[in-house]
Amino acid sequence: MNTFFLIFVILPALEIFLMIKIGGEIGALNTVGLIFLTAFVGIFYARIQGLQTLKSGLTNIYQNKAPVYEIISGASIAFAALLLIIPGFFTDIIGFLILIPFTRNLLLKFFLRNKKETNHEKNNENTIDGEIVNKDKDEL
């Protein structure tokens, strides 16, 4: 299925459905307030997580280590903040799951493991074993 279709059609439809359902239960004003509250709390928490990741990355740089995990974690925190800014409950849930360090580590391990397996399978498909034999012109 096309990812653009999911992002631009299915995701807004899901968000609207959830807003209508939750708005029917708690009221329209409470729903709007809850959307703003999750955005503010999420951005605040993303800022805290981002600063902690930055401190950890600087510590690794001072120790002459490559801050690879911190770079990936920082990018995922930025993506989570973007999801929290987008109004809706589904994107807020996904954003908060990415912001929690435990679930972020699980998601990163899952995606990186799948990426490594895919790259390993591609490398095996493109490998051709062979032998080179050099013959001099005199032997012919």
pLDDT at residue 121 greater than cutoff 60: no
Residue 20 lies in a domain: no
Is 15 within a domain?
no
Residue 83 in domain: yes
Inside any domain, residue 95: yes
Instruction: Tell me the whole-structure pTM to 2 decimals.
Output: 0.74
What are the DSSP calls for the chain, one per residue? --HHHIIIIIHHHHHHHHHHHHHHHH-HHHHHHHHHHHHHHHHHHHHHHHHHHHHHHHHHHHTT---HHHHHHHHHHHHHHHHHHSSSHHHHHHHHHHHSHHHHHHHHHHHHHHHHHHHHHHHHHT----------GGG-
Domain that holds residue 53: 36-116
Q: Does a structural domain hold residue 42? A: yes
pLDDT at residue 126 in the model: 65
Residues 38-79 pLDDT 10s: 999 999 999 999 999 999 999 999 999 988 889 999 999 999
122 occurs within a structural domain? no
Residue 27, in any domain of the structure? no
